[in-house]
Amino acid sequence: MKQNEETILVTRSSIPDLYEYIDEIKSIWETHWLTNMGEKHKKLEYELKKYLKVDNITLFTNGHLALENILAGLNLKGEVITTPFTFASTTHAIVRNGLTPVFCDINKEDYTIDVSKIEKLITDKTCAIVPVHVYGNICNVKEIDNIAKKYNLKVIYDAAHAFGVKINGKSVANFGDASMFSFHATKVFNTIEGGAVCYKNSKLEKTLNDIKNFGITGPETVEYIGGNAKMNEFQAAMGICNLRHLNVEIEKRRKVVEKYNYRLKNVKGIKLNKIPSNIETNYAYFPVIFDGYKLSRDEVFEKLKEHNIIARKYFYPLTNSHKCYKERFKCEETPIAEYISDRVLTLPLYADLDLKIVDKICDIILE
């Protein structure tokens, strides 16, 4: 097979037409207002509230700080139940808040938290659950809600991958006490870097706005030991432009996923991501599990690489086995997460990915 001349990476940022962006940022040259919750910031917040159908949203400079700040804003203490099959950010945000992550295993179907294992992990120190809508696959929100009510726990979803996803027609942003979205360059919707938190309790708005701005609450008053996690005007302008094209981008992604599914379905040893009929997905990632296939995950990865196709092992290794946590947590406690993490490969997926390249990727895998 001929090698691909162009390198194909796991994703490629969606960007608007250059002149559309220039048009959006023109007014910044008149106002000289570059950051600190300016006009673009306000406009994006307004547009996102409409898009996500939520009452409360706060923007951040990235998704990670959005998660760190909502955990801080809720003033949590003690243990937090979460999963290790995620990006380092989820666990780091918990630990950097002085909280102790307690790892729950994932389920084999959609790789989200196994709700049947949560209750066993609850102690008198448990204050919250941080489940992850990994790949945009939605956790069992109903059962998580039941458990949280029973034990009086907060639920903060890491919805970094789930922007725009709907459950029975309802935006995913409406579940739990709060949901964090990432607007990083690699996401379905990006603001270059960026993130947001949507939340139920409107009183959190002031707290979040204060702690993302050094804890400043007045011209001469600093009430919290906050940091700096503000989204700037150029990020917000990128978001305003990208949001206009989001539905078209998602539709293009759908076509790529459809092609992959068509080529790879019913192949022995290859497991594809299933989207339940009540979920309107955003086609964020294309995870494939190689389990009993003629090639291992690592062999498929290498084979694709020989053809300049760079898939990624999201999420390997598990966060509880990262070097920085090695002495503290044991990944054997989450065997399903370990099993999936050893077998998963996320294939290239982005709106403008040529369907001929998708065919070629499938040919290489199936060859």
Dist CA 188 CA 246 (whole Å): 8
Q: In this complex, which beta carbon is closest to ligand T4K, that of residue 184 or of residue 253?
A: 184
Tell the smallest beta-carbon distance from residue 200 to ligand T4K (Å): 20
Whose tokens are 């990083």? That residue is 184
Query: Total binding residues for ligand T4K by CB under 6 A?
Result: 22
Q: In this complex, which beta carbon is closest to ligand T4K, that of residue 144 or of residue 160?
A: 160
Dist CA 93 CA 139 (whole Å): 19
Q: Does 160 bind ligand T4K (CB under 6 A)?
A: yes
Binding span for ligand T4K by CB under 6 A among 149-157, 177-185, 291-299, 329-337: 177-185
Indicate which residue of 187, 230, 259, 360 is catalytic. 187
| Candidate list 38, 80, 87, 106; residue touching ligand T4K; CB under 6 A | 87
| Candidate list 56, 69, 89, 140; residue touching ligand T4K; CB under 6 A | 89
Report which of 316, 286, 294 is spatially closest to residue 365, judged by C-alpha positions. 294
Tell the smallest beta-carbon distance from residue 117 to ligand T4K (Å): 20
Dist CA 245 CA 167 (whole Å): 22
SS3 12: coil
- Contact at 8 Å (CB) between 133 and 112? yes
Tell the smallest beta-carbon distance from residue 223 to ligand T4K (Å): 26
Whose tokens are 């290498």? That residue is 302
b vs e for 107-119, b when ≥16 Cβ sit within 10 Å of the residue's Cβ?
beebbbbbbebbe
**Window 299-328: residues binding ligand T4K (CB under 6 A):** 314
Residue of minimal CB distance from ligand T4K? 63
Q: Does 82 bind ligand T4K (CB under 6 A)?
A: no
Helix or strand holding residue 170 (H, E): strand 170-171
Sign of CA dihedral 192, 197, 198, 203: negative
Binding span for ligand T4K by CB under 6 A among 139-147, 183-191, 244-252, 287-295: 183-191
Q: Does 131 bind ligand T4K (CB under 6 A)?
A: no
Tell the smallest beta-carbon distance from residue 67 to ligand T4K (Å): 6
Q: In this complex, which beta carbon is closest to ligand T4K, that of residue 8 or of residue 74?
A: 8
Binding span for ligand T4K by CB under 6 A among 58-66, 108-116, 262-270, 318-326: 58-66
Report which of 259, 290, 289, 287 is spatially closest to residue 275, judged by C-alpha positions. 287
Binding span for ligand T4K by CB under 6 A among 18-26, 61-69, 97-105, 323-331: 61-69
Q: Does 58 bind ligand T4K (CB under 6 A)?
A: no
User: What is the pattern of x (binds ligand T4K, CB under 6 A) and - over residues 191-230?
Assistant: ----x-----------------------------------
Alpha-helical runs (H) found in the chain: 18-31, 39-52, 63-73, 88-95, 141-151, 204-211, 233-264, 297-306, 335-341, 355-366
Q: Residue 253, Cβ neighbours under 10 Å: how many?
A: 23
- Contact at 8 Å (CB) between 232 and 333? no
Q: Does 61 bind ligand T4K (CB under 6 A)?
A: no
Q: Residue 100, Cβ neighbours under 10 Å: how many?
A: 15
- Contact at 8 Å (CB) between 350 and 11? yes
| Candidate list 58, 69, 82, 86; residue touching ligand T4K; CB under 6 A | 86
| Candidate list 62, 82, 97, 235; residue touching ligand T4K; CB under 6 A | 62
Catalytic annotation on 187? yes
Q: Which residues are catalytic?
A: 187
Q: Which residues contact ligand T4K (rule: CB under 6 A)?
A: 9-13, 62-64, 86-87, 89-90, 132, 158, 160-161, 182, 184-186, 195, 314
